[in-house]
């Protein structure tokens, strides 16, 4: 699942932590960081250990740590599958496009997914064992602590899981052992220093990126990514373009053929859940699937409501801790269908599984779905600077640093690309650059000021890389 593709924008933020020379600099970086990466301290620390202590700092190596977290998730679902008599549940996770996508990201989401899977183990065993014993409590305390270290948002899925378990314990009259209560209290106490640190980051004004307008279309996009439709339909880059289009309905109609397979997959997934869960719940006591539905539904409901009310973008990646909940519910539904007597009802879900696997493989191998190519853009920029030409750099500075490109931000400097939008200088007072390197104009040139300069001065396209367009006012031969 892991590739050696160029690091993209967000992965560049992670790589900055891997480049810190010692632990003192790492904690200093964590303290001064004003982006949401500091609110994922455990993942950043694991990255630093790999990069500095073990020397694992290439693109592939920065992502390879996800093998451990992915394996942890698979082991967790194997344990759940044994308890629920669904032995193929880990395989169902292994073919999910969402799983493939985030296994190949030098970001904390594979860690969150693995931690969330073990939180789910605790919930399933708590319900099946009617709150007896302490194994489930140790599992919840340890997995919850690790998940809270991976992301500040872990308080939501862990809290909703505890709430779901508490509801069923109250409804059925289950009583916790005193030792289990002490273990949970110990886990909660261990999270207090992390909570204090997160409160400090919020006080300092740390916020995540806010690119798109949050509305019903944004929620639909989250569902599109979460269910893994992107590998067989419109790429996320295409959707990004559509999101900026003033004629969205017309653009969607023009791309209708690319939406047919995702629509088919979506309909089939809804059918699987409706038909399979209805049958499964009629065959055995429904406590476990209902507890999972409650924890997943409450978490998703809060995130969606917060997105719409606060206009805060909670992307599909923020649902990583509850993705194992979704896969387990899907497995329960499929088991309900496969246990039916009518053969045609057992066969059609196989098509949905085939589409999921197709989408997963596309995320790994399809050229159109490769990551933003900062590596090639930096190589081109370095070549241009060697030729004595001036460059404006409208892209992230962190991946540039990883690829040894020093960007000037306050004012132009000889031998360096200049980022004009982070400079106090008036763009119109600056000499026109020979080359403009731009990625994601909606993010790096949101008011279109540089794009207007490009159009007014008749720049031409020198070359393109994934997510990058390089403009020039002279003939520049791109490096092969």
Q: Is the pLDDT of residue 247 over 90?
A: no
Residue of 97 and 236 predicted with greater confidence: 97
Structure-token pair, residue 312: 């805060």
DSSP string, 215-226: SHHHHHHHHHHH
Q: State mean pLDDT over 388-398.
A: 95
Q: State mean pLDDT over 308-331.
A: 94
Q: For the chain, give the mean pLDDT.
A: 91
**DSSP reduced 3-state for 439:** strand
Q: What pLDDT is attached to residue 284?
A: 63
> Is 358 exposed, middle or buried (CB count within 10 Å of its CB: 0-12, 13-18, 19+)?
middle
Q: What pLDDT is attached to residue 123?
A: 98
Q: State mean pLDDT over 124-138.
A: 96
Q: Lowest-confidence range among 156-160, 195-199, 279-283, 465-469?
A: 279-283
Q: Lowest-confidence range among 11-20, 113-122, 129-138, 277-286?
A: 277-286
Q: What pLDDT is attached to residue 474?
A: 66
Q: Lowest-confidence range among 216-220, 262-266, 329-333?
A: 216-220
> Which residue in 441, 331, 402, 446 sits closest to 12, CA to CA?
402
Tokens 């493939």 sit at which residue?
Answer: 100
Q: What pLDDT is attached to residue 56?
A: 78
Q: Is the pLDDT of residue 382 over 50?
A: yes
- The answer to whether 295 touches 325, Cβ cutoff 8 Å, is yes
Q: State mean pLDDT over 170-178.
A: 94
CA separation, residue 437 to residues 152, 384, 447 (Å): 34, 11, 16
What is the H or E stretch that residue 394 is in? strand 391-394
Residue of 198 and 209 predicted with greater confidence: 198
Confidence of residue 348 (pLDDT cuts 50, 70, 90): confident
pTM more than 0.75: yes
Separation between Cα atoms, residue 76 and residue 89, nearest integer Å: 10
Q: What pLDDT is attached to residue 476?
A: 47
Separation between Cα atoms, residue 18 and residue 50, nearest integer Å: 7
Query: Left (φ > 0), alpha (ψ -120 to 50) or beta: where does 117 sit?
Result: alpha
pLDDT digits (tens, 9 = 90+) for 42-53: 999 999 998 887
> Which residue in 469, 412, 413 sits closest to 445, CA to CA?
469
Neighbours of 201 (CB within 10 A): 20
Confidence of residue 342 (pLDDT cuts 50, 70, 90): low
Residue of 226 and 56 predicted with greater confidence: 226
**DSSP reduced 3-state for 157:** helix
Confidence of residue 212 (pLDDT cuts 50, 70, 90): low
Task: Identify the DSSP state of 207.
Answer: B
């Amino acid at each position: 699942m892991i590739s050696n593709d160029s690091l993209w924008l967000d992965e560049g933020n992670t790589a900055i932590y891997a480049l810190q020379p010692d632990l003192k600099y790492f904690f200093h970086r964590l303290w001064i960081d004003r982006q949401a990466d500091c609110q994922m301290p455990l993942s950043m620390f694991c990255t630093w250990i790999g990069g500095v202590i073990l020397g694992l700092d290439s693109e592939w190596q920065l992502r390879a740590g996800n093998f451990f977290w992915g394996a942890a998730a698979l082991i967790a679902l194997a344990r759940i599958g044994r308890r629920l008599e669904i032995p193929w549940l880990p395989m169902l996770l292994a073919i999910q496009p969402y799983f493939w996508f985030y296994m190949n990201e030098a970001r904390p989401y594979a860690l969150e997914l693995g931690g969330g899977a073990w939180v789910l183990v605790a919930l399933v065993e708590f319900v099946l064992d009617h709150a007896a014993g302490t194994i489930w409590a140790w599992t919840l305390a340890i997995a919850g602590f690790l998940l809270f270290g991976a992301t500040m948002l872990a308080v939501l899925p862990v809290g909703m899981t505890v709430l779901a378990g508490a509801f069923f314990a109250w409804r059925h009259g289950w009583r916790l052992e005193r030792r289990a209560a002490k273990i949970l209290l110990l886990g909660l106490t261990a999270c207090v220093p992390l909570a204090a640190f997160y409160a400090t980051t919020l006080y300092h004004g740390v916020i995540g990126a806010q690119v798109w307008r949050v509305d019903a279309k944004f929620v639909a996009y989250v569902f599109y990514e979460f269910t893994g439709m992107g590998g067989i339909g419109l790429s996320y880059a295409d959707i990004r373009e559509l999101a900026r289009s003033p004629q969205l309905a017309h653009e969607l109609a023009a791309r209708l053929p690319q939406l047919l397979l995702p629509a088919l997959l979506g309909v089939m997934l809804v059918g699987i859940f409706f038909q399979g869960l209805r049958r499964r719940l009629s065959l055995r006591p429904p406590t476990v699937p209902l507890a999972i539905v409650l924890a997943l539904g409450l978490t998703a409901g809060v995130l969606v409501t917060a997105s719409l009310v606060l206009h805060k973008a909670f992307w599909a990646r923020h649902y990583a801790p509850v993705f194992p909940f979704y896969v387990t519910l899907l497995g329960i539904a499929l088991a309900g269908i496969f246990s039916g007597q009518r053969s045609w009802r057992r066969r059609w879900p196989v098509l949905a599984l085939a589409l999921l696997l197709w989408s997963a493989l596309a995320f790994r191998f399809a050229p159109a779905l490769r990551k933003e190519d900062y590596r090639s853009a930096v190589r081109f920029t370095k070549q241009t600077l060697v030729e004595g030409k001036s460059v404006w750099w409208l892209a992230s500075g962190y991946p540039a640093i990883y690829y040894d490109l020093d960007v000037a931000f306050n004012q132009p400097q000889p031998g360096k690309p200049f980022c004009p939008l982070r400079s106090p200088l008036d763009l119109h007072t600056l000499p026109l650059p020979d080359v403009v390197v731009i990625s994601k104009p909606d993010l790096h040139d949101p008011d279109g000021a540089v794009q207007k300069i490009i159009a007014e001065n008749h720049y031409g396209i020198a070359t393109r890389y994934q997510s990058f367009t390089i403009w020039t006012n002279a003939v520049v031969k791109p490096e092969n």
